[in-house]
Amino acid sequence: MADGDFLALGGPSVDGEAALRPVPRHVALIMDGNGRWAAKRGLPRFEGHRRGVEALRRAVRAAIEMEIEYLTVYSFSVENWSRPREEVQSLMGLLHRFIRNDLAELDANNVRVQVIGARDDLVAEVAALLREAEQMTEENTGLTLVVAFNYGARQEIAAAARAIAEAVVAGRLSPDEIDADTISARLHTADIPDPDLIIRTSGEQRLSNFLLWQAAYAEFSFLPINWPDFDEAAFRSAIDDYAHRDRRFGRVEPVTCNAKTGS
């Protein structure tokens, strides 16, 4: 879908036809609240994460139906390694099962998987799983599912700064040539458009080291539900709310003046 296209999100308009709403090209999801969801039900945290995978499946299917081009999910941050070892192991197990069980369906639905985040220090098995997901779907042309794994925005920006500094020292780049595009080109998301809408569940209202540079002009939707309860209705509601926002990117729309009345 090109910029400016519209998609019927459903719901009757005043003339009885489906209301047309602009759909964001790129939606990013901070999938928060799995542990709290489980705790409220007296269940182990692992069950919250397992139900969270089901919510992710619903989100991907809804994104396909709404013809969103990019869906980025914050699956595992660099800070998540500090969680209890048993929880980290269970999360790695869910990643393994998701790729083994869902990759064929994603491929059949023309979904391309792209992974962002640091990979140098990943164990071989996990790195191989991520490569498999990318390689199997790299020719697909539908939804791009961007998986932020072992990802941290500050670390990403620091790595870009180091790369720029090395280029300057080597004489490949002059300091006066450095601008925002120079930095963007060295981020993990160099070939991915910035997110139009970032949705976070659980009621928390922060980015938590997620897409700090790319979120400069993103719209935000903070939902009071925990991630396992995120469904198509919640997704569409957030998209509908986004559609009613006035995105000016720092500009002011020109005021038209009536030549006769001066108003």
Q: What would the pLDDT profile of 210-239 be if each residue is shown by its tens digit? A: 999 999 999 999 999 999 999 999 999 999
Sign of CA dihedral 213, 218, 222, 227: negative
- Model confidence over 185-207: pLDDT tens digits? 999 999 999 999 999 999 999 99
Indicate which residue of 80, 109, 140, 209 is catalytic.
80
The percent of residues in the chain predicted with pLDDT above 90, rounded, is 80
- What is the arithmetic mean of pLDDT over 2-9? 39
Residue ranges of domains in the chain:
26-242
80 a catalytic residue:
yes
- What is the arithmetic mean of pLDDT over 155-176? 98
pLDDT of res. 29:
98
pLDDT of res. 12:
37
Total residue length of the chain: 263
What is 26-242's CATH number?
3.40.1180.10
Q: How many helices (H) and strands (E) does the chain have?
A: 7, 8
Contact at 8 Å (CB) between 9 and 21? yes
Indicate which residue of 5, 15, 32, 110 is catalytic.
32
pLDDT of res. 195:
98
Helix (H, G, I), strand (E, B) or coil at 159: helix
- Model confidence over 105-158: pLDDT tens digits? 999 999 999 999 999 889 999 999 999 999 999 999 999 999 999 999 999 999
For residue 198, the cross-strand partners are 28, 220
Residue 148 is which amino acid? A
32 a catalytic residue:
yes
Residue 157 is which amino acid? I
Given a cut of 70, whether residue 19 has pLDDT beyond it is: no
For residue 115, the cross-strand partners are 147
- What is the arithmetic mean of pLDDT over 230-258? 82
Given a cut of 70, whether residue 21 has pLDDT beyond it is: no
- Token duo for residue 121: 């220090």
